[in-house]
């Protein structure tokens, strides 16, 4: 399905069996989508009554429906390929919008052709004063591939007290609300469909940074994210996807010999993580760590050509301001630095 291209911006909400979320958050999307943007619900093969709910109660809302669940990555890739807008916003179905939320992101995009993507500030919908886990005030990564945010390191989440009000360059922007130029999204290959879900936006942003594009934060733009609406934070399935996808992302993007050093360190650290899960009587999560490594070792052969392409198209090394030169685990557990502002 193609829509008339009278507007240059599309807000894309990927839905899968999210009838309850549509009922809760669709009013805020309609109220706060500016006149220069189209709101489009992308249904990812839902088997509940999501589509009939939209057709009955929101007939004027654009609907792009797929016959099967293509996953987070595949669903957005197909929608962005089919819909010809200059700027697309990947918006999770559990995000509540606020008045003027798109103003600063669009101003930043228009301020420099080097800026490819923007992330607003994400606060927790259930605890509105706190940053939200999946993005907070913008993402970074350490030298071993552990992602973290301004406002959230591991499970330590800060209250938003106005400590991160400056717009800064980021290593990664959250897929919960990602504003990005469509042409650049397609140029770097979009989201990796093999990831299915979790950390695919970090992998995308790694390619953006390596190929010379900038990703920036929009701190005056605030949205509220529930988080964990599809998988709970500590479910075995989510643990598996996070470990496997993180390893695949490292393999795809890090040059040798750095890659070999990082994978060796991660093998030891992930073994420790597995033991910690066992000590906490969570055998399902421990097995998921092992399963993640096993799947990575099998799948990495499929990525050799992708890896070579990524390295060939790299035009600059990642700045240490974005990929931090220290170990986040060491800073957090041994130095006790649990807030972004405490890090070196």
159-218: per-residue pLDDT in tens?
A: 999 999 999 999 999 999 999 999 999 999 999 998 877 899 999 999 999 999 999 999
Residue 235: what pLDDT? 86
Domain extent listing, the chain = 1-93, 236-320
Q: Rounded to an integer, what distance in angstroms lies between the CA atom of residue 189 and that of residue 6?
A: 26
Q: Domain 1-93 is classified in which CATH homologous superfamily?
A: Spore Coat Polysaccharide Biosynthesis Protein SpsA; Chain A (3.90.550.10)
What is d(CA 293, CA 268) in angstroms, rounded to the nearest whole number? 12
Q: What is the mean pLDDT of residues 57-76?
A: 94
Confidence of residue 326 (pLDDT cuts 50, 70, 90): very high
Q: How confident is the model at residue 92 (pLDDT cuts 50, 70, 90)?
A: very high
Phi then psi dihedrals of residue 185, to 5 deg: -55, -50
Cα–Cα distance, 51 to 42 (Å, whole number) = 10
Query: Which pairing describes strands 152-153 and 156-157: parallel, antiparallel, or unpaired?
Result: antiparallel
Residue 91 confidence class, pLDDT cut points 50, 70, 90: very high
Residue ranges of alpha helices (H) inside 50-179 are 50-57, 71-82, 103-111
Tens-place pLDDT, residues 3-15: 556 799 999 999 9
Query: What local confidence, expressed as pLDDT, does residue 230 receive?
Result: 55
Q: pTM above 0.85?
A: yes
Is the model's pLDDT at 312 over the cut of 80?
yes
Q: Residue 6: its pLDDT value, please?
A: 78
The predicted model gives 269-276 an average pLDDT of 96
């Amino acid at each position: 399905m193609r829509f008339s291209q009278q507007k240059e911006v599309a807000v894309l909400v990927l839905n899968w069996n999210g009838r309850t979320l549509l009922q809760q958050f669709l009013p805020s999307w309609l109220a706060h989508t500016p006149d220069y943007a189209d709101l489009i619900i992308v249904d990812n093969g839902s088997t509940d009554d999501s589509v009939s709910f939209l057709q009955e109660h929101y007939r004027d809302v654009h609907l792009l429906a797929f016959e099967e669940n293509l996953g987070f990555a595949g669903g957005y890739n197909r929608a962005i390929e089919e819909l010809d807008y200059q700027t697309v916003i990947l918006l999770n179905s559990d995000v509540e919008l606020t008045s003027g939320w798109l103003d600063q992101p669009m101003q930043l995009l228009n301020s420099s052709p080097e800026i490819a993507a923007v992330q607003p500030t994400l606060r927790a919908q259930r605890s509105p004063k706190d940053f939200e886990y999946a993005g907070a005030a913008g993402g970074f990564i350490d030298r071993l591939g552990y992602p973290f945010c301004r406002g959230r390191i591991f499970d330590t989440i800060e209250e938003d007290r106005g400590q991160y009000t400056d717009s800064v360059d980021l290593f990664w922007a959250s897929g919960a609300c990602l504003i990005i130029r469509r042409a650049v999204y397609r140029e770097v290959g979009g989201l990796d469909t093999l990831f299915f879900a979790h950390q695919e936006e970090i992998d995308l942003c790694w390619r953006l940074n390596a190929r010379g594009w900038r990703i920036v934060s929009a701190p005056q733009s605030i949205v509220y994210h529930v988080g964990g609406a599809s998988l709970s934070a500590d479910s075995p399935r989510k643990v598996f996807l996070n470990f496997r996808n993180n390893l695949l992302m490292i393999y795809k993007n890090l040059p040798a010999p750095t890659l070999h050093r990082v994978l060796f360190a991660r093998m030891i650290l992930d073994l420790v993580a597995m033991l910690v899960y066992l000590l906490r009587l969570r055998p399902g999560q421990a097995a998921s760590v092992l399963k993640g490594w096993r799947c990575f070792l099998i799948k990495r052969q499929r990525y050799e050509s992708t890896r070579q392409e990524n390295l060939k198209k790299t035009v600059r090394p990642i700045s240490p301001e974005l990929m931090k030169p220290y170990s986040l685990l060491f800073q957090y557990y041994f130095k006790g630095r649990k807030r972004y502002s405490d890090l070196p």
